[in-house]
Structure 1
Amino acid sequence: MQKEEDKLLVRIAEMYYQEDKNQSQISKELNIHRSTISRLLKRSRNEGIVNISINYDKAGTYSIEKELQEKFNLKKAIIVQAGADLSRTQKDKLLAQGVGEYLTEIIKDNMIFGFSWGETMSAIPEGLTDYDVKNILCVPMIGGPSGRLISDYHVNTITYEASKKLNGRALLIDSPAFPETVALKKALMENEFNQELIDYWRKIDIAILGIGSPTLKASESWKQFYGEDVLAYLEGKKVVGDVVSRFYNIEGEHIDNTLDDRLIGIDIADLKRTPYRIGVAEAVDKADAIASALKGRYINVLVTTEETAEEVLKRSV
């Protein structure tokens, strides 16, 4: 009797999986009720008559994305495949396209977008596509550079260009990220215009931000943005990375420092309340900074390259 049942299970599995027949067709041919066919197909899997294997290699980066999402409780991990021979600019464009495609899943009318500054961030507007939405507002999440910065990397440029692609409007900032004194910061923040910005920082729906790493602080853009005095201050602070110039350690814990007293930018608590915090970064040298940003929950969506993602997973064992 068991042998006959097993034969039936094999025959049904063969018809369904190899002959590509649907359950209704099998039901008619074998004169068995459709609900029974469904139950027997499930039984054939449970008893090992049918073994379903998924070839994740064919899915490219799916398994890495899944591992990142589960390990760091992310809303989404987006891994772009970028060959080692690609330039920094080419990789940044791919990352921007990844961001643009993800936005099609989450963007809605009346949303507020927040942006940070930087070289990778400068590619974001180009990666945005046509979205059927209205009344989008784009705001900078931090003040401008202390020194002379390439204009494309400036948060105002990025914010304005993104607003055009999103058919929205932009509110720009006319204050430095690090005023020379705390008193000057307070005076600037009492400005009606900046008060409006602070209000919007508390209402951002989607934040798109780069991830900084002090291992790259010798770069011209870091020098131009922060100035020598800030970089000198960071020496010895065990800084692993930063998001919108809020610095953190290897555990992702915010490092309290006197720079925070001068910083004009979104507060950490407001950032973490933002529903979508999309971190965009790549480079093996940034792996610690990215992993720690994930640990600290500064971001809950990651867009990076496959090489960087693998290194991030190694650093977070």
Structure 2
Amino acid sequence: MPSRYGPPIDVQLRQLTKVAVMYHEQGVRQAQIADALGLSQAKVSRLLKRAAQLGVVRTTVSIAPGLHTELEGELERAFGLAEAVIVDVEDDADEAEQIAAIGGAGAAYLETGFTGADRVGIASWSQTLLATVDRMRPAVNPTVSEVVQLLGGIGVPEVQTQAQRLASELARMLGGQAYYVQAPGVVADRGTRDSLLREPGLQAVMERWRELTAAVVGIGSIDPSDLLAESGNAFEAADRETLLADGAVGDICHRVFRLDGSAIEGDVDARTISIPIDDFRRIPRRIGIAGGERKIGPVRGALAGDG
């Protein structure tokens, strides 16, 4: 026969609920809860843990508009990334507006992303990286020791300063010393490249490539950006045709790859003055900053070849 007073009260459930309300809703510290209820602090801790196990306490994260933590987590798991950052843009945003949004997010990430002892490589001839560096604020204390160009930064004088500014401004923002690759990104033939690589100044920069702890790069498409085209360092039309016929979708520091991430070696690669792909892959942290519909294939290829 049912009790006229209703079901019996679960004493422990009542106790752990009271403890949970005091701790999570009223902000009472565990030691104060223990004193108020005549319990040990260890008992209070166990009750709080049990409350979570029973579902009395549930944790809910309220994600602010414009943040995509769950989607970022899916990307991280799918591609083995340490961290992914997704940026919101308007549906009708043009490429310049997309680059500005990506640059703002990249700047915020780089401002807090280094330890003070990091040696950071930086690519050249990237409009997205320029947008990133232009939006950074100077660090109060140095967060890197040096910033090293990864790709030849000599080009048409009118735009050459942009490539140098990438390294110099990033170094200034993060409090490090800048080092430059005093050579073009692509030269006419293998002999010219080999001769330049024997120069003592370039040899010193190449040694620094092997000591980098992080790299910041754009992810390029085979069709060059305006900045790269104006610099004189873009692939020639005949070279682009050859690369496309070999399955090229993008490049990092002029090292070209296919959609499956495999590197394309050959004449163009042999005329390129930039960090070798094996040295790049040995860098512990490789930060790619890119976006937009034109970069879907290049980003997929870069993710497939990362490792």
TM range (shorter): 0.7 to 0.9
* Partner SS for 1:248: strand
* Distance change >3 Å, CA 190–CA 133, structure 1 → 2: same
**8 Å Cα contact 1:141-1:244 kept in structure 2:** yes
Measure how far apart 1:243 and its partner are: 0.7
Counterpart in the other structure of 1:64: 71
Counterpart in the other structure of 2:208: 200
User: Is 1:138 the counterpart of 2:152 in the alignment?
Assistant: no
Q: In the TM superposition, what are the counterparts of 1:139-218 in structure 2 within 5 Å?
A: 139-144=148-153, 148=156, 151=159, 154-214=162-222, 217=223
Q: In the TM superposition, what are the counterparts of 1:44-123 in structure 2 within 5 Å?
A: 44-56=51-63, 60-103=67-110, 104-109=112-117, 111-123=119-131
* Distance change >3 Å, CA 107–CA 41, structure 1 → 2: closer
Counterpart in the other structure of 2:255: 246
**8 Å Cα contact 1:210-1:280 kept in structure 2:** yes
* Partner SS for 1:137: strand
Separation in 1 of the partners of 2:43 and 2:217? 53
**Cα RMSD (Å):** 2.8
Gaps of 5+ in 2: 1-7
User: Is 1:272 the counterpart of 2:281 in the alignment?
Assistant: yes
Aligned residues with identical type, % of pairs? 25
* Partner SS for 2:288: strand
Measure how far apart 1:2 and its partner are: 7.6
Q: In the TM superposition, what whole-angstrom CA distance separates every residue of 1:144-174 from its partner, at most 9, and x where no partner exists? A: 477x586178532322333333444333233
TM-score with structure 1 setting the length: 0.81
Measure how far apart 1:265 and its partner are: 0.7
Q: In the TM superposition, what whole-angstrom CA distance separates every residue of 1:188-222 from its partner, at most 9, and x where no partner exists? A: 111122211211221222211100123xx175445
* Distance change >3 Å, CA 137–CA 46, structure 1 → 2: closer
Gaps of 5+ in 1: 299-317
Select the residue among 20, 36, 54 that pairs with 2:43. Answer: 36
User: Which segment drifts farther, 105-114 or 233-242?
Assistant: 105-114
Bigger RCO of structures 1 and 2 (CA < 8 A, at least 6 apart):
1
Measure how far apart 1:269 and its partner are: 1.0
Measure how far apart 1:58 and its partner are: 5.9
**Larger C-alpha radius of gyration, 1 or 2?**
2
**8 Å Cα contact 1:92-1:123 kept in structure 2:** yes
* Partner SS for 1:11: helix
Measure how far apart 1:27 and its partner are: 1.6
Separation in 2 of the partners of 1:294 and 1:288? 10
Letter in 2 for 1:139: V
Separation in 2 of the partners of 1:222 and 1:156? 13
Q: State the number of aligned residues.
A: 295
TM-score with structure 2 setting the length: 0.83
Counterpart in the other structure of 2:4: none
